[in-house]
């Protein structure tokens, strides 16, 4: 799927239609430290003993490998006037998402 680099969309902060820059979010950094669930999972993996749910890696990671080759995309828009970001919802999963200047 190809997307334009700029689009005209409604900005809820400016309350009018303005030009927006398009971003594709490729990876989000994992939270470090203080999130309870992730901390417990990390601590569960080190050391010996049966840690129940956290003893082994999940089945989907161990056996199946990369079966799914398409992903849901996370696309954000940045308003050119107020520089605030909003999420642009796009339905479906896509193998590849590109930004191009050709489409408007």
Enumerate binding residues for Zn ion (CB under 5 A): 11, 13-14, 79, 81-82
Least separation in angstroms between residue 93's CB and Zn ion is 29
CB nearer to Zn ion: give 10 or 94: 10
Q: Minimal CB distance to Zn ion: which residue?
A: 79
Give bridge partners of residue 84 from the DSSP assignment.
none
Provide the token pair at 75. Answer: 């696309």
Least separation in angstroms between residue 14's CB and Zn ion is 3
Torsion on CA atoms 42, 47, 50, 54, rounded to nearest 10: 10
Residue 77 class from Cβ within 10 Å (0-12 exposed, 13-18 middle, 19+ buried)? buried
CB nearer to Zn ion: give 18 or 97: 18
CB nearer to Zn ion: give 82 or 103: 82
Least separation in angstroms between residue 82's CB and Zn ion is 3
Provide the token pair at 104. Answer: 């408007």
Distance CA 7, CA 21 (A): 7
Least separation in angstroms between residue 12's CB and Zn ion is 8
CB nearer to Zn ion: give 84 or 96: 84
């Amino acid at each position: 799927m190809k997307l334009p680099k700029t689009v005209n969309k409604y900005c809820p902060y400016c309350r009018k239609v303005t030009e927006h820059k398009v971003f594709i979010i490729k990876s989000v950094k994992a939270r470090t430290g203080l999130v309870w669930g992730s901390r417990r999972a990390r601590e569960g993996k080190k050391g010996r003993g049966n840690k129940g749910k956290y003893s082994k890696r999940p089945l989907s990671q161990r056996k199946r490998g990369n079966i799914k080759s398409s992903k849901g995309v996370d696309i954000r828009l940045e308003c050119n006037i107020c520089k605030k970001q909003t999420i642009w919802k796009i339905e479906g999963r896509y193998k590849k998402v590109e930004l191009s200047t050709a489409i408007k």
